[in-house]
Amino acid sequence: MRTRELGRTGIRVGEVGIGCEGFLEKPRETVREMLDALLAGGGNCVDLYASNPEMRAAVGEAVRGRREKFVLQGHLCSIWDKGQYRRTRRMDEVRAGFAEQLRLLGTDYLDVGMIHYVDSLADWEVCKDGVLAYAKELKAAGTIRAIGLSSHNPEAALAAIKTGDIDVLMFSVNPCYDLQPAGEDLEELWAPKNYQKQLLNMEPLRESLYETCQRLGVGITVMKAFGGGDLLHAEYSPAGAALTPYQCIRYALDRPAVASVLAGARTVDEVRSAMAYGDAPEEETDYAAALASFPRISWEGHCMYCGHCAPCPAGIDVAAVMKFLSLAQAQGAVPETVREHYGLLPHRASQCVACRACEGRCPFAVPVVEKMAQAVRVFGN
């Protein structure tokens, strides 16, 4: 399993991790076996949004004696109340719930402390007044290593990360959600009525979110990469066609700033299968042909960073140039970090010989030669 930097945090995570849903109502020995399989496959990142105390205690028991091997992404504001999960913004409950989480996990720190489930601008304003200040206290004390935020709404997520206080964003990323506009109603992302007419390319605010995270050094951990499993079945997929789990993972990993995809594994075998992504051949992870053939969706003219343009006879990493160009164009100027990364490329856009071999291989009909000319104008070489 390859690892990636989680934004600017200094934490390295496996490209595939797991969520905690699969631990619920499992014997403690099964939870240990699932975490053993995660480590054996080269993964390390575990999201722990659920507040079930038995689940948290089972995870705590399983990581005891090897805590440093795991990247635990816990959530503030997710508490257990009267036998069920509840989200809260009351600071007395937030503080007590976090302390209880640490106690049950048997640890004195979390790698990422997530401000839990912020799907509206109004809710973010509420969180800024209390929860964010508390998260900063925890980070200053070393009780959390990084401040995170989980959201399904790109508008709320953008507002949060632009403060500069958020280090990690947990966000829902898949080829269907990426077509839908920002909104506070999660159900709208999957509503059949929103897929009745052909959809064209990624929703601009979502694209801006990924690019802004990349520019600011905010690492993204991905939830709902499989759309709750619906994307894996043609009869349920809003796109009208199915993808494989590895195609969904690769799609998410190809978005700017994404560090780890948290798979919803519910058995030991499913954890092992998710971890095997790291050894999967290119043809099993390649999503480009599948997306290009979706009957209800078109990404024509839009670079998906899928790498089908390679190899370039001039040695240009076309996908990397396209990504840096998008980052610069989204800002209306060239951020210094983007210019530096572009400058480190061994072959730049100015070396394009306009042979158009890349355009012939692109499943999405991207005008690559034109984009290379734009990159020369933007970066100067």
Could you tell me the end-to-end alpha-carbon distance of the chain, in angstroms, rounded to an integer?
35
Q: Kindly indicate the confidence band of residue 237, based on its pLDDT and cuts at 50, 70 and 90.
A: confident
Q: What is the DSSP letter of 300?
A: T
**Tokens 């560090």 -> residue:** 259
Same domain, yes or no, for 221 and 354? no
CA–CA distance, 276 with 14 (Å, rounded to integer): 12
Q: What is the pLDDT of residue 228?
A: 83
Cα torsion angle, 227, 233, 237, 241, sign: positive
Query: Cβ–Cβ contacts within 10 Å for residue 240, how many?
Result: 13
Per-residue pLDDT of 103-156, as tens digits, reads: 999 999 999 999 999 999 999 999 998 999 999 999 999 999 999 999 999 999
Q: Does 307 map to a domain?
A: no
Same domain, yes or no, for 257 and 128? yes
Q: Are 304 and 205 in contact (CB under 8 A)?
A: no
Work out the average pLDDT over 191-195: 79
Q: Does 144 map to a domain?
A: yes
**Does the N-terminal peptide bond of residue 311 adopt cis geometry, omega within 30 degrees of 0?**
yes
For residues 64, 36, 232, 195, the Cα torsion angle rounded to the nearest 10 degrees is 20
Work out the average pLDDT over 213-226: 95
Pair of tokens at residue 34: 């699932």
Same domain, yes or no, for 281 and 354? no
Same domain, yes or no, for 255 and 332? no
Cα torsion angle, 340, 342, 345, 349, sign: negative
Closest listed residue to residue 17, CA positions, set 32, 4, 30, 29:
4
CA–CA distance, 72 with 312 (Å, rounded to integer): 40
Same domain, yes or no, for 66 and 208? yes
Kindly tell me the number of DSSP H helices and DSSP E strands found in the chain: 15, 14
Work out the average pLDDT over 337-355: 91
Pair of tokens at residue 291: 């997306």
Q: How many CA atoms lie within 13 A of 370 on its CB side?
A: 7
Per-residue pLDDT of 17-73, as tens digits, reads: 999 989 999 999 999 999 999 999 999 999 999 999 999 999 999 999 999 999 999
Same domain, yes or no, for 124 and 240? yes
Residue 290 has pLDDT above 90, yes or no: no
Q: Which domain holds residue 259?
A: 3-286
Same domain, yes or no, for 126 and 29? yes
Q: Report the CATH number that the domain containing residue 95 is assigned in CATH.
A: 3.20.20.100
Q: Kindly indicate the confidence band of residue 186, based on its pLDDT and cuts at 50, 70 and 90.
A: confident
The number of folded domains in the chain is 2
CA–CA distance, 379 with 368 (Å, rounded to integer): 16
Same domain, yes or no, for 364 and 240? no
Q: Does 299 map to a domain?
A: no
Q: What is the pLDDT of residue 197?
A: 72
Pair of tokens at residue 350: 């100015």
> To 10 degrees, what angle do helices 368-379 and 336-343 make?
120
Q: Does 252 map to a domain?
A: yes
Q: Are 364 and 302 in contact (CB under 8 A)?
A: yes
Q: Are 303 and 364 in contact (CB under 8 A)?
A: yes
Q: Does 240 map to a domain?
A: yes
Q: Kindly indicate the confidence band of residue 372, based on its pLDDT and cuts at 50, 70 and 90.
A: very high
- What is the pTM (predicted TM-score) of this model? 0.90
Same domain, yes or no, for 100 and 159? yes
Q: Does 311 map to a domain?
A: no
Work out the average pLDDT over 347-366: 93
Q: Kindly indicate the confidence band of residue 297, based on its pLDDT and cuts at 50, 70 and 90.
A: confident
Q: What is the pLDDT of residue 203?
A: 85
Q: Does 173 map to a domain?
A: yes
Query: Cβ–Cβ contacts within 10 Å for residue 198, how many?
Result: 10
What is the biggest distance separating any 2 CA atoms in the chain, rounded to whole angstroms? 67
Q: Does 292 map to a domain?
A: no
Q: What is the pLDDT of residue 291?
A: 85
Per-residue pLDDT of 147-167, as tens digits, reads: 999 999 999 999 999 999 999
Same domain, yes or no, for 210 and 80? yes
Same domain, yes or no, for 282 and 323? no
Q: What is the DSSP letter of 248?
A: H
Same domain, yes or no, for 134 and 214? yes
Domain C-terminal end among 268, 286, 304: 286
Query: Beta strand 110-115 with 71-76: parallel, antiparallel or unpaired?
Result: parallel
Q: What is the pLDDT of residue 239?
A: 77
